A and B are shown apart, each in its own frame.
Chain A
Amino acid sequence: MRMDGFKAIAIVAVLVVFAVFAGMLVIYFTNAVPAFHRFGIDVYLKNIWNAAEEPSREAYGIAAAIWGSFYTSLIAVLIVLPLSISYSIFVVDYAPKRLKNVIIILSDVMGGLPTIIYGIWGAFVLVPLLRDYVMQFLYDHLSFIPVFSYPPITGYSYLSAGILLAIMVTPFASAIIREAYEMIPYTYREAAYALGATKYEATKLLIGYIKPAILSGFILAFGRAIGETVAVSLVIGNTFNLTWKLFAPGYTISSLIANQFGNAFIYEYMTPVLYAAGVALFIIGLGINIIGLRFIRRWEENVKL
């Protein structure tokens, strides 16, 4: 293609963006190298956090944080699943036009709300609420089930983080699923009605058409949840704790970075380990988002009705 004024300027901007992204990769990997040298793959596989003045006694393994990131995001996505599908069906099929607009606007406001506001609400309102009314009850009556067997003393826990994340990413997954659901041509619905189907039966049929979009909505929601930092770090309790127990405090990769980076420079190996944590988050985030985008693109290209 011929070079012209626009292309010459715009390509510079594009290169700057690519350079920033590549620079991020390079910075994370190079700064993590000392950690890989010292601890090898154990930095990801072990759950240990010994900060010591002498470098020889330092030992770190962030398995608990990686586990926490996946576990909280999984809890979140499991809650998001029924909420966002119901939301999409209700908005598209049932809500009158006025109500529909109001609901969509509210959901968008929720999706854009600064995360720190979720954080302060989560720490001061949601956590005590869950502790007093949900966790205590489950612990008192069902603590023979292993996941409920941790005493909810503070309430800062995997469960609190998962629920807060669910609240935060529901609007996001809802928007993706609603858009896909709205795209199904009305004639399909009419065909279902013509066969004598009730609205419920028609919906059951039509939801099948947008399965790939639903899947990509959840993958992308999972990716959002895993990258969220401040709100999670205010409710998760920030403790190294590799466990299934829902009421136990934990860590996520991003909250670990947010929490420890400030004083990491005192220790020789803590900063590299946190960069290694960054590498993990980088790769997980990139992988999940690429898979999610793939799915949605494939749906848009091939299955689009």
Chain B
Amino acid sequence: MSSFEVRKQKERLFLMGIGSLTFLALLPLFHIIATVFRNGLPVIIKEGLNFLTGTFSNGGIGPAIIGTFTLTFLASLLGLPIAFLVGLYAYEFPRSTVGRWTKMLLQIMIEFPTILVGVFVMQVLVVPMGTYSAFAGALALAIILMPYVAIYTHEAMREIPFTYREAGYSLGLTRIKVLLKILAPMTKRGIFTGVLIGVAKVAGETAPLLFTAGGLYESYPSSVTKPIGSISLLIYQLVQSPSPADHEMAWGASLILLIVFLGIFIPIRLSLKEVKL
């Protein structure tokens, strides 16, 4: 066999190797989705609409679904305004000390262990209030949501050519007008993507809610100062239970969570080229 043949052979082996490793890396996703559907669908079909609306002892996870949406909404309310401002600040003053530190801090916060955020909020909010609350859970989620949205805002703004700013300033506009009237509308799409990715992320979070939200599955949440449930928290508790009936409920809840997540994530992912995780 000539040396060229050997090299050809190596090439073929290499392609087979990396092809199968790539396949192996993605394989768990298919298995997870298939398993969640196989185990979750029968539960949901058995309970019917009641699964989505009923309380836990009636065989439903209604309060948890409402809880997840409430928490996500409140977290957005708390986190988004700050995130925009911080993102804009990092964009406007990239060379200043505070600007550079802000960017560094955002990157650190995005990687930060989420359980630490939960325990922190517990200490500053749950302990003084004496009770778990929707507000505490939402605050923990807001702290996690913030860096995602800020970084996306920052990145989106950076893509706009500098000449647009110059044009704005030469018209005599103030910095705030240039940012809000000229640049922000041009980056709507990028910022919106950041918001949705952040929201998709916090909607599935569990660890920050462990010691803040408290959990509520037998009645619908009524006040932001009272405990609240969430789908992910419910799954976590049910998986640890020894009863097979609880495990079934956990699979059903997982399917709902998976559908919510894919429902938010897939459309955004298809509508743009890259995402930062």
Q: Which chain B residue has the least Cβ–Cβ distance from A296?
A: B107
A227 engages B261 (CB within 8 Å): no
Q: A21-B109, A171-B277, A293-B108 are in contact. Are A120 and B250 (CB under 8 A)?
A: yes
| A198 lies within 8 A of B7 (CB) | yes
Q: Looking across the interface, which residue of chain A has its beta carbon closest to that of B266?
A: A109
Q: Which residues of A contact B277 (CB under 8 A)?
A: 108, 111-112, 171-172, 175
How many angstroms between the C-alpha atoms of A113 and B235 in the bound complex? 14
* A145 proximal to B (CB < 8 A): no
Cβ-defined contact, A200 with B254, below 8 A: no
A13: chain B residues at CB < 8 Å are 81-82, 85-86, 89
Within 8 A of B (CB), among A7-50: 7, 9-14, 16-18, 20-21, 23-24, 27-28, 31
Q: Is A61 an interface residue (CB 8 A)?
A: no
**Would you call A117 and B116 a contact (CB within 8 A)?**
no
- 8 Å CB contact of B257 from A1, A20, A114: A114
Q: Does residue A94 face the partner (Cβ distance < 8 Å to B)?
A: yes
Chain B residues within an 8 Å CB radius of A86: 17-18, 21-22, 25
- With a CB–CB cut-off of 8 A, which chain B residues contact A116? 204, 206, 232, 235-236, 254, 257
By a CB distance below 8 angstroms, the chain A residues around B236 are 116, 119, 230, 234
Which of the four size classes fits the interface of chain A?
Answer: 35 or more
A83 at the interface (CB under 8 A from B): yes
Q: Does B47 contact A (CB under 8 A)?
A: no
CB of A5 closer than 8 Å to a CB of B: yes
Residue pair A10, B86 in contact (C-beta under 8 Å) = yes
> Which residues of the other chain, A, contact B18 by a CB distance below 8 angstroms?
86-87, 89-90, 94
Main secondary structure of the interface of A (DSSP, over half): helix
Chain B residues whose CB sits within 8 angstroms of the CB of A200 once the complex forms: 7, 10-11, 14-15
Q: List, in ascending order, chain A residues with CB within 8 A of B114's CB.
A: 227, 229
On whether the beta carbons of B175 and A293 are closer than 8 Å, the reply is no
Which among A117, A175, A286, A290 has the highest number of chain B CB atoms within 10 Å? A117
Contact yes or no, B96 A109, CB < 8 A: no
**Inter-subunit contact A31/B232 (CB<8 Å):** no
| Contact residues in B for A241 (Cβ distance below 8 Å) | none
Q: Interface of B with A (CB < 8 Å)?
A: 7-8, 10-11, 14-15, 17-19, 21-22, 24-26, 28-29, 31-32, 35-36, 39, 81-82, 85-86, 88-89, 92-93, 96, 98, 101-102, 104-105, 107-109, 111-117, 119-120, 122-124, 143, 146, 174-176, 179, 197, 200-201, 203-207, 210-211, 232, 235-236, 239-240, 247, 250-251, 254, 257-258, 261-262, 265-266, 269-270, 275-277
